[in-house]
């Protein structure tokens, strides 16, 4: 039997950069959202959203600039806005531990998933010739739910997954990263948006001996 708790594992460290705000309520349990800043080795940073239950931690302990390590899962849901569906991603916290500041904690960003490719991979090359592929991974969760996680692969991993069919079961690991982009509306207005994705470092076909692994530079 599939152990879905092993399909989606995230361990991330960094600095709290926003105080918790109410997000939603399910069966009288309230959930709150705050942001954490985690650094890359290049000294740039990713700002990532965290969802936490009021029953997991005292909210007033989640103070600005506090250094924490969070274990949890990367989850998604479809938000309906103006008749359109938008994929919203966040890290669902299962444990939050206060830590002393260190490079190891401030850059910790490890995410591992087992799931199914649910859209044809999109393969392309940059103007400088670097190979890139985008996949959308469906990761099973309890109660017959799934999380849909955008992933980006590089180099030979990108080339390898280019022609993998929808439904292929894979295992991958990497970093959760944020990326800003501009969305243009029909009235000419432009709004800055943030997308979240997994920058994949290791990639393999699950339940096979075929493994394609390449550590990509953390940029």
Return the domain boundaries, the chain.
Answer: 4-106, 111-213
Mean pLDDT score, 203-218? 55
pLDDT for the residue numbered 84: 78
Percent of the chain at pLDDT > 90 equals 74
Alpha helices in the chain (DSSP H): 103-106, 155-161
Residues in the chain: 219
- 86 or 36, greater pLDDT: 36
Question: What confidence score (pLDDT) does residue 182 get?
Answer: 81
Where residue 210 falls among pLDDT bands split at 50, 70, 90? Answer: very low
Number of helices (H) and strands (E), helices first, in the chain?
2, 13
CA–CA dist 103, 187 (Å, integer) = 45
Domains 4-106 and 111-213 alike in fold: yes
Residue 219 has pLDDT above 50, yes or no: no
Point out the least confidently predicted range of 57-61, 184-188, 196-200: 184-188
CATH number for the segment(s) 111-213: 2.40.50.140
Query: What local confidence, expressed as pLDDT, does residue 2 receive?
Result: 58
* pLDDT tier at 207, thresholds 50, 70, 90: low
Q: Beta 84-98 vs 45-53: how paired, if at all?
A: parallel
> Tell me, what's the pLDDT at 153?
96
pLDDT at 183 over 90: no
Lowest mean pLDDT among 55-64, 97-106, 206-215: 206-215
Average pLDDT of the chain to the nearest whole number: 90
CATH topology for 4-106 is: OB fold (Dihydrolipoamide Acetyltransferase, E2P) (2.40.50)
Instruction: Enter the tokens of residue 14.
Output: 């960094």
Rounded mean pLDDT, 106-126: 96
Q: Is the pLDDT of residue 19 over 80?
A: yes
């Amino acid at each position: 039997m599939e152990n879905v708790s092993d399909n989606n594992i995230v361990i991330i460290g960094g600095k709290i950069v926003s105080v918790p705000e109410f997000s939603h309520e399910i069966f009288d349990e309230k959930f709150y959202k705050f942001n954490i800043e985690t650094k890359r080795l290049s000294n740039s940073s990713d700002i990532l959203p965290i969802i936490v239950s009021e029953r997991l931690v005292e909210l007033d302990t989640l103070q600005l600039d506090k250094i924490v390590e969070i274990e949890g899962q990367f989850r998604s849901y479809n938000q309906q806005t103006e008749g359109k569906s938008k994929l919203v991603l966040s890290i669902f916290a299962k444990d939050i531990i206060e830590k002393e500041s260190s490079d190891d904690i401030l850059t910790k960003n490890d995410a591992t998933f087992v799931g199914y490719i649910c859209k044809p991979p999109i393969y392309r090359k940059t103007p400088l010739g670097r190979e890139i592929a985008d996949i959308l991974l469906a990761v099973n969760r309890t109660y017959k739910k799934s999380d849909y996680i955008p992933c980006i692969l590089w180099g030979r991993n990108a080339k390898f997954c280019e022609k993998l069919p929808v439904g292929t079961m894979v295992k991958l690991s990497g970093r959760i990263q944020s990326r800003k982009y501009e969305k243009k509306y029909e009235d000419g207005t432009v709004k800055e948006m943030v997308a979240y994705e997994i920058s994949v470092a290791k990639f393999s076909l699950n339940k096979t001996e075929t493994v394609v692994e390449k550590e990509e530079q953390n940029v």
